[in-house]
Amino acid sequence: MSEDSPILFGLYVPPHPQPLLSPDANQGYSNLRAAFETCRKRIEESDADLILVYSTTWPSVVGHQIQALKESIWTHVDDDFHYLGSMPYNFKIDTDFANEYCSAAKKRGLHARTVEYEGFPIDTGSVVALSLLNPDNRIPACIVSSNMYANRSETIVLGKSASDALIAQGKKAVIVVVSSLSNRMFTEHIDPADDRIHSSKDNEWNEKILQFFADGRLEDLSQLSREIHGQIRVQKVVAYKPAWWLASAMGQHNNYQGEVLAYEALHGSGGAVIQLTPSTGSFGDKEFDEDDVEFYQGDRNVLNKENF
Amino acid sequence: MTKGEIVLGCLAPHPPHLVYAENPPQNEAFSEGGWETLRWGYAKLARKLKTIDYDAIVIFTPHWQTYIGTHFLGLPEFKSKSVDPVFPNLFRYNYDLRVDVELAEAMHEETAKAGIITKMMRNPDFRVDYGTITSCHLLNPDWDKPIVTISSNRNSHYYSNEVMIEQAKALGEACMKAIEKSGKKVVLVSSHSLSHRHFVTEAPLPEDMSREHIYNHSQYVWDMKIIDMFRDGKMQEVVDIMPEYTEQTIAETEAGGLIWMMAAMGVPSYPAEIYGYQSVIGTGNCIACWDPNNNTRELVL
C-alpha cells in the first residue's frame, strides 16, 4: 500500500449470478468462482476495515445512493436468471462509513443520500460480490450506486469522495467494482456448456482491457472509458463508469501491480476477476486528454444564453 | 367456449410518488399529498373499471427488465414487500397479489409459437416490480382481480427502437391470440410514463408541488403531440413516430409497452379517453385508456 492511500487493493468482478449459483455448469464459471475464492482469502488476510462496493447493477436517479442499513437481510432473485435459484443474504453494513461517504460526496458538490430501509433491493452484482468475497461478514461493507445520468466528472468526484471518507475515518479498505467488461449477453437461453464471449470484437476489446489491467494501467483505462463504452458496451446508461470510479478512488495513476485472476464468458458477456494492488513501479503516466476534476459543479447547460 | 376479448387498454404510469401521495395502508411512507391531477385521473379511471366486467389485468412493465427474452409471472400468489430502489423514501409497499397462471401460460405458449424467446418465472422468492404494483394499485386498489405481469425485453438497448417495436408488435399479437383462446375478458395495462428525463435531485419535501414541473419544454411539446394523436385516434401514426419520439424524449415507451398494447388491440383508430397529464420529478405522465366499446367510450378530458 502506498503511504497516502487508504486503499489496500482494488478488485474488478462481474455482476452475473452464475459463479454464485451455478459454478459447476461451465468450467469458466468454476474458474471465476475460484478467482472469487482467491480474492476472499486475500481480503481475509489483509488488514482491511471495510469492503466498499461500487455496483453498476445498482442504478440510481436521485444523486448517488449509499447503502447504510446496518443489517441488510433479504432473499434476492435475479430478473433474468431467476431459474438458477434464490440468493439469501445478510450483510453487515458500516453505517458510520456510509454517512461519512455521503457527507464527503456532498462536500464535493454531489447530490448524495444514504438508504437505510428494511427490504431495500440490493442488486444482483452487489449480492454476488459480497456473498463470495465476504461470506461470513468478517469485514463490514458499504455499497454505492451508479447514477444512470452521471458522466465522467460526477463519477470521478464520487471516487475521490470515497477516498476522502476513508481518510477521514482512518479506515483501510478493499474497494470492489462490480461490472462486466463487454456487456452484451446472448438474447436467447443457452446451454451453459456452450457459453462464449458474444463476438470476436467484444473478445478482442476485453483482451486489450485485460492487458492494461495486467500492466497496472488503471488511469490509462480511465482515460479510455468513453472509447470502451462506444465499442463494447450495450448503451443502457450514458457511459462506462467503473474505471473512472476505481481510478479516482485509488489515486489516478498507473502505479499498480495488476493481476487478472480469471476471464470468462457469462452468457456472452465478458466476466473478469482482477486485482490491482498499489505499487511503486509505474508504467508511466501519459499525456491525458481528459481533465481532472475536484468538485462537481453541475452540468453545464450549453443552451443557456448565459454561456454565450 | 366464448371467444376471449380485451375490454379495455390502459396507459397507466407508475411513479411511486402517486401511491406515496395516496397513503394507502400497504405503504410505509407517509405523505401530505401531491400530484393530484394524476391521482384524481386514476381515481376516475378506477371507477370506470369497476363498471366493466373482466377476469384479469395483464400488465407490461418496464421495471422487470429482461435481456433474455420476455418473461411471465408463473406462480399463483406473490406476497412480499416492494421497496423502490430509486425512491425508497417514498415506496415501501407490502403486497399480496394473485396471478392468473393459466392465462400467463397461454400467453407464454403463444409467444413461443410466434418465435419470441420466452420464459415462465416460477421462483417463489421473486419480488414483483414496483411498476406492476403501482399501476395495479392505482387502477384497482381493492386488488380483487388476478394479474399477469409481462417483463420488458430491452430490445431498445440491444438493437434499436425499431427492433423493439417489431418485437413488441409480435408479442402483442401473440398475447391477443392467447386471450381469444382463453375465453376471458381482459384489461391490458401498459405501465409507463411518456417523456422520461428525471431531475437528479429531490426536494426536501418530495410532495412540494411548487417544485414540480416538466424537465424541459421540448419534452412537454413532444408529450402533447403524442397525446393529441391519442385523442384523435391516430394510433398507427403514434406507432410510426414512436422511434423518434422515444429517442427525443428518452421516453419510457422504449420498453415497448404501448406498442405491445396497441398491437394486441389491433391498433385502435378510435379516440382515447384522456384522464390526466402531469409531471413527476420532471417526467411526463399521461393516464389514458382505449375503450373498444362504442357505447361506453366517453370524452373525459
CA distance A74 to chain B (A): 10
Across chain B, which has 301 residues, the per-10-residue mean pLDDT values are 96 98 98 98 98 98 96 98 96 98 98 97 98 98 98 87 92 98 98 94 95 96 98 97 94 94 98 98 98 96 92
Whether A2 is covered by a domain: the verdict is no
pLDDT at A301: 65
Q: Which band of pLDDT confidence, cut at 50, 70 and 90, is reported for residue A308?
A: very low
pLDDT tens, position by position, A194-230: 999 999 999 999 999 999 999 999 999 999 999 999 9
Which B-chain residues 132-191 have CB contacts (< 8 A) with chain A?
Answer: 151, 153-154, 157-158
Name the domain count of chain A: 1
pLDDT tens, position by position, A45-56: 999 999 999 999
pLDDT tens, position by position, A22-47: 999 999 999 999 999 999 999 999 99
Cross-chain residue pair B122–A83, CB shorter than 8 Å: yes
Listed by start position, the domains of chain B span 5-290
CA distance B68 to chain A (A): 4
Is the pLDDT at A1 greater than 50? The verdict is no
- Pairing state of beta strands B5-11 and A269-278? unpaired
pLDDT at B154: 86
Nearest CA in chain B to A65: B86
pLDDT at A236: 77
Whether A107 is covered by a domain: the verdict is yes
pLDDT at A238: 81
Sign of the CA dihedral with A55 first, then A58, A61, and A66 last: negative
Give the CATH fold of the B5-290 domain.
Protocatechuate 4,5-dioxygenase; Chain B (3.40.830)
Whether A172 is covered by a domain: the verdict is yes
Cross-chain residue pair A58–B86, CB shorter than 8 Å: no
pLDDT at A30: 98
Written as nine digits, the cell of A207 is 483482451
> What residues make up the domain containing A300?
7-307
pLDDT at A237: 79
Cross-chain residue pair B127–A77, CB shorter than 8 Å: yes
Cross-chain residue pair A234–B158, CB shorter than 8 Å: yes
Query: What CATH number is associated with residue A220?
Result: 3.40.830.10
Task: State the first-to-last Cα distance of chain A, in angstroms, to the nearest integer.
Answer: 47
pLDDT tens, position by position, A155-176: 999 999 999 999 999 999 999 9
Whether A274 is covered by a domain: the verdict is yes
pLDDT tens, position by position, A253-277: 999 999 999 999 999 999 999 999 9
